Chains A and B, each alone.
Chain A
Amino acid sequence: KNQVEQSPQSLIILEGKNCTLQCNYTVSPFSNLRWYKQDTGRGPVSLTIMTFSENTKSNGRYTATLDADTKQSSLHITASQLSDSASYICVVSPTYSGGYQKVTFGTGTKLQVIP
């Protein structure tokens, strides 16, 4: 069964500090992995996407890493800001085989940045 597990479930950090969120998956065969940011009361917004051959991808203060061998990904947030407070969702897609591709969502990590 395809699964995506994220840790920690929630996290509180001080403004300006760095943090790292983890994602482990069992989706196979693997195509790509995305990190989404979901603000409270809003829909998820894509931050990064990585394919099998990519090890790292940055988007401003967000840097995602991928180890396809161990099936792990991390999202590192540098110099956190209050606006980073949100849920971060890891989403894994299987290899394309035609038509609609059923992606697998993680439960998310809820990050709270405090002053």
Chain B
Amino acid sequence: ETGVTQTPRHLVMGMTNKKSLKCEQHLGHNAMYWYKQSAKKPLELMFVYNFKEQTENNSVPSRFSPECPNSSHLFLHLHTLQPEDSALYLCASNQIIAGATDTQYFGPGTRLTVL
């Protein structure tokens, strides 16, 4: 295990539902990320939190709402999603250090299906 956990592992929801994805890192890192992975496309960065502050919002629709209550936990709140939002949602963490880009450690992902 990489020290990054995600729940749930699988989620099926209707377009009118509200659900949340949870990520927890046990590595003492100061940065956490949400990525979307769709078939045959590169990982798409959605959000970045550095020291609990959101430093990147990669033009993500407002139906995705992140929350980072502390440096170890990250949530992705979902509401009124569309079928094209079905994908694997990956959480990652790393240590942002002056002068270096540290390796990101990924969680196992949440497979989301929107009906």
Interface residue ranges, A against B (CB under 8 Å): 4, 9, 31-32, 34, 41-46, 49, 89, 93-94, 96, 98-108
Contacts and interface: CB of A to CB of B under 8 A. Distances in A.
7 contacts: A41-B111, A43-B91, A45-B106, A96-B100, A100-B50, A102-B45, A103-B104
B70 to A, nearest CB: 18
B108 A93 contact: no
Interface size class of B (residues with CB under 8 A): 20 to 34
A99 B92 contact: no
Interface SS of A by simple majority = loop
Interface of B: 2, 4, 31, 40-43, 45, 48, 50, 55-56, 90-92, 96, 98-101, 103-109, 111
Nearest to B6: A43
Contacts of B45: 102
